[in-house]
Amino acid sequence: MSLSVYLSGEIHTDWRDVIEKGARAAGLDVDFSAPVTDHDASDDCGVAILGAEETGFWKDHKGAKLNAIRTRTLIEQADVVVVRFGEKYKQWNAAFDAGYAAALGTPLVVLHAPEHTHALKEVDGAALAVAETPEQVVDILCYVLTGKLPG
């Protein structure tokens, strides 16, 4: 058994690395994917490729749509979508991805600190697992793929 796992959400901490290294260390057959995690490239891609805009709205619009070519393709191909909510920013795109995955019926794992439990209750309610640490996500993937529990 192998899994395609899309890692959505926060791009300012190393949680993706922790999960990918943990999965590799455990010898799991997982194919990870993610949005573009270079914040500047992600913000500027629309105008850098398709030409400058006068307003922030259309600059953002062009960029968001280019990013959507990548993110929707990967979410639709994923067997599991993991969405991480961090400490900063509004992170509406993370919640948007969670809703997108939920509507597709794709298994959803949410990763966030306990203080966000109430604000994320709808998102958690649609998830098959709610983790607090990236290590737990590795344990989940390990269990799903091999039936082995940690420790």
Taking the C-alpha atoms of residue 94 and residue 34, their distance in angstroms, rounded to an integer, is: 12
Rounded to the nearest whole angstrom, what is the least distance from the CB of residue 17 to its own copies in the complex?
16
Residues binding its own copies: what is the number (CB under 8 A)? 83
Write down the least CB distance from residue 150 to its own copies, Å: 6
Interface with its own copies (CB under 8 A), residue from 50, 52, 87, 113: 50
Among 15, 91, 111, 134, binds its own copies (CB under 8 A): 91
| Residue 27 or 92 having the CB closest to its own copies | 92
16 binds its own copies (CB under 8 A): no
Question: Interface with its own copies includes 123 (CB under 8 A)?
Answer: yes
Beta bridge partners of 82: 7, 109
Q: Binding of its own copies at residue 109 (CB under 8 A)?
A: yes
Is residue 37 a contact point for its own copies (CB under 8 A)?
A: yes
Number of other residues whose CB lies within 10 A of the CB of residue 95: 19
| Contact yes or no for 82/107 (Cβ under 8 A) | no
The answer to whether the beta carbons of residues 46 and 62 sit under 8 Å apart is yes
Residue 25 binding its own copies, by CB under 8 A: no
Q: Does 82 bind its own copies (CB under 8 A)?
A: no
Query: Do 31 and 2 contact (CB within 8 A), yes or no?
Result: yes
Residues paired with 84 in a beta bridge: 9, 111
The Cα 66–Cα 41 span in angstroms is 11
